[in-house]
Structures are given as C-alpha cells and as structure tokens.
Amino acid sequence: MRKLRICPVLLVLLLGSFSFAAKVELGRNNEIIVNGKLFFPIVQWAQDEKLFDENISLGVNTFSTSINFVKNPKEYFDLCASKGVYGIMDFSEAVKDHPAVLWWNHSDEPDMLDKKTGQPRIPVAQSVEDHNKIKTKDPGHLVEIGLTAGFNEVLAESSIGFKDRSFYKGYAKAADIFSFDVYPLYQYNRPECLWYVADSVSKLRNIIEDKGPVMPAIEACAGSKWITPSKTREPFAYEIRCEVYMAIVRGAKGLIWWTHSWIAPENVGSPKANKRWDGKKDKYYSQLGVTAGNKAEMKKINMQLTRLTPVIYSPDVKGKVASNNKDIEVLVKEYQGKTYIIAVNMKRAVIDAEFSVQGMKKTAKIDVDEENRSVSKVEDGKFSDNFTEHAVHIYVLENRQ
C-alpha cells in the first residue's frame, strides 16, 4: 500500500462522522448496531487502496483485510476514515482505539484440513484462546472468525478427511461474529447448487446456537484457480441476487463480497483455455475481477440492503404469510406500518406461487420493491405471482389497507 499522507487538520475534517471510536453492539436478534444505529455490513475483502473509491461507489461500507497485506495499520484505518467507511483487520494494539475499526478478525479459515493430521490446521482451542486474548486486550471491540463451509456435510469437497465435525461447535466460543465462504459456481462449478449458500447459513447458525451474527461470502465473478477456465462462466446477475437473499431469508446479518479472479476474462469459458491456472500461463489477477453488468447488480443489491436494513433487522413475523410452493421460501417482516415479504425462488425453474396473507383485504395494493410494478389481483386474502428461475421478489403491503 502506498504511504497515505494527510495533514492532521485535514484528517480531523475527513473523519467527520468517525469522530469517536465505533461502538458496535449486537441486538437481541443478532442485529449489528454501530454507534446506536442499525448497520448492515457490506464487506469487501483484501482490496488495494486504489480500488476503494470504486467499491464505495458500489455501496460497500466496510473493508476487511489481513494485517499481512498492510504495511501500516494506522494508515489503512486513516484511509478508511477518510472515505467514510469502516475497516476490519487482525488485532493490532497500536490502533485499537482508531475510530474506523469496526471489529477484529482472527485465524482466517482455521478449520482448513491439515492433510498430515486430518484435523483443522489451527486447533479449535487455539482459536478460542486467540479470541480471549484479543478480548482481554480490547474488550471494547467484537471479534470475527472466518470459516470454510467444512461444517456442512453436504459439501464433501470442503470437508474431506473430517469424519467427525463435532469440533465445529467449539467455534461458538472463538468469536462474536461468524463468517464463512462457499461458492457454488466459483468453487464447484455447480449452478444448480446455489442452495449451498442458504443451507450453510442455516447449519452454521444451528452449530453456534445463534450466539452471534452469521455472514456469508457471496461470489460475484469467475476466475477460480480450481476450475479449468473452459468449463467455467461468470455468475449471472440473478444468481448473485438469489445467493444474497436466500442467505438473508435464512438469517444472515451481513455479507462479504468475493471478487478475486485469477483468470483473464477472455479465457473464462474459452474452449482453448483447457488447463487449470498454474500461475505461469495466465498471470492475470484482479481483486475486483467483476464484469460491468455484475458490478451494476452488486450496486443495486448493496443500495437495496442499505435502504432496507431496518426491515431486515426487525423481528421475524411468523404465521402471517404462507406460500403454496415449497420451493419459494419467504421471510416476513413488519416495519413502520408495512408488511414486507421477501420471497426467493430456491429452484432453477420457472414457478408460479400463491401467497396467503392473514388479514389482507381485497382492496390491498401490493408493491414489488424496485420492480416498478404492483400485484393488483387479490382474492380471499391471497395473491399470486410468477418467478423466473432463482428470482427474488420483495412485496410491500400497507397494513392499514
């Protein structure tokens, strides 16, 4: 990272809303509260400073990195503050009072398989001890741990060698916030398995007994080292959106974008690119290797999530709405006199679905968020809509109608 030079007076002006250290708390539903306000973390991982402005223009509000990637932690957090965003990094006592520190991370992917021992590369007890050391030195900040999806027995590729996954329960004491990564297309080349994301959110919440927010990483590009370029493709915009909202429907409280690509764009899906990346033939690497179309979708999603943060973080409403199709999963919220129905098509197929809403009148008007349309036909407390494959619709109903 280039040395950032900002005069002291200018830095004070730039800090603006970061005039005091971020106080981060967790609500009773694991919602994230920063300085008394609800905050939905939209995180980018390991981005060079020259990419900050573009990421921020896409709606990113937090940058996470490893201390090994940064020459000077203070300069890194000064940069975050100057841009009006938060930063996450391995614990550094030298900057523990910096106002741009959101929380700390530690022992990234400690559950990776050590092939020699058949055990996690970092013992769970060590992760717990590391967490306790950080909290002792800095009780004012929360701590995040990032896991693989090895806890999910469905994903055999992620957990080869782990005959017993019971050790994962120990991570509940190793952090306050829990992130994980699983990429159905980028990692496995299985577009039919987007549901991996939702399933993993549910299973991790169950493993840690909901003792902290869960945040999945969401794929937004191609360019994996593990798949032959000719056999891969860029994720479609609707697939990215579906991954985000299926995670939210299952209880995710934030997200981390995965945008790193090691494959040149012209080689993605090219029949001539029939060998895996080896670091020699294709030296292309981009930390933000996302197509223009998918960047536009990232921005649309990020802005919508930011606007709907109070809705997403409000308590779940059980029993008010039901779908007649098991492949359409719904999350129902009530906020400021409105009912919000977040409906996700979990299946790779076109589906018609009918929704029953308790107390809904025939005259009810149902707007579909950001789709510039309404569902006008309401009969006997029910309405219907069409879902293209993996479509997401957010219905907004005035409760007083």
Q: How confident is the model at residue 20 (pLDDT cuts 50, 70, 90)?
A: low
* Average of per-residue pLDDT across 37-63: 98
Q: Which two tokens stand for residue 347?
A: 């299946």
The H or E element spanning position 215 is: strand 214-219
Q: Residue 102 in contact with residue 94, Cβ under 8 Å? A: no
Rounded Cα distance, 6 and 17, in Å: 17
> CB 310: neighbour CB atoms within 10 A?
14
Rounded percentage of the chain residues whose pLDDT exceeds 70:
93
Q: Tell me what pLDDT residue 156 has.
A: 58
Residue range 273-288, pLDDT digits in tens: 988 887 777 789 999 9
Is 24's pLDDT higher than 60? yes
Residue range 157-212, pLDDT digits in tens: 555 667 789 999 999 999 999 999 999 999 999 999 999 999 999 999 999 999 99
Q: Residue 333 in contact with residue 340, Cβ under 8 Å? A: yes
Q: Tell me what pLDDT residue 63 has.
A: 98
**Which stretch of 8-22, 120-134, 324-338 has the lowest confidence by average pLDDT?**
8-22
The one-letter amino acid at 220:
A
**Average of per-residue pLDDT values in the chain:** 92
Q: Residue 30 in contact with residue 210, Cβ under 8 Å? A: yes
Higher pLDDT, 247 or 379: 247
Whole-Å CA distances, 85 to 12, 43, 56, 76, 385: 15, 10, 8, 11, 38
Rounded Cα distance, 195 and 229, in Å: 23
Numbered ranges of CATH 3.20.20.80 in the chain: 8-312
Is CATH 2.60.40.1180 correct for 321-398? yes
Q: What is the DSSP letter of 281?
A: S
Tell how strand 177-181 and strand 382-387 pair up: unpaired
Q: How confident is the model at residue 311 (pLDDT cuts 50, 70, 90)?
A: very high
Is 299's pLDDT higher than 90? yes
> CB 61: neighbour CB atoms within 10 A?
22
Looking at the DSSP assignment, which residues form a beta bridge with residue 105?
A: 90, 144
Residue range 93-152, pLDDT digits in tens: 999 999 999 999 998 899 998 888 888 999 999 999 999 999 999 999 999 999 999 999
* Average of per-residue pLDDT across 69-85: 96
Q: Tell me what pLDDT residue 22 has.
A: 84
List of E strands, 99-155 = 101-106, 113-114, 119-120, 143-147
Q: Tell me what pLDDT residue 158 has.
A: 53
Q: Residue 339 in contact with residue 332, Cβ under 8 Å? A: yes
Q: Where are the alpha helices (DSSP H) in 85-194?
A: 124-137
Numbered ranges of CATH 2.60.40.1180 in the chain: 321-398
Q: What is the tally of helices (H) and strands (E) in the chain?
A: 8, 21
Superfamily of domain 8-312: Glycosidases (3.20.20.80)
Rounded Cα distance, 326 and 341, in Å: 15
The one-letter amino acid at 120:
P
Residue range 235-287, pLDDT digits in tens: 999 999 999 999 999 999 999 999 999 999 999 999 999 888 877 777 899 99
Q: Tell me what pLDDT residue 7 has.
A: 47
Q: Tell me what pLDDT residue 4 has.
A: 42
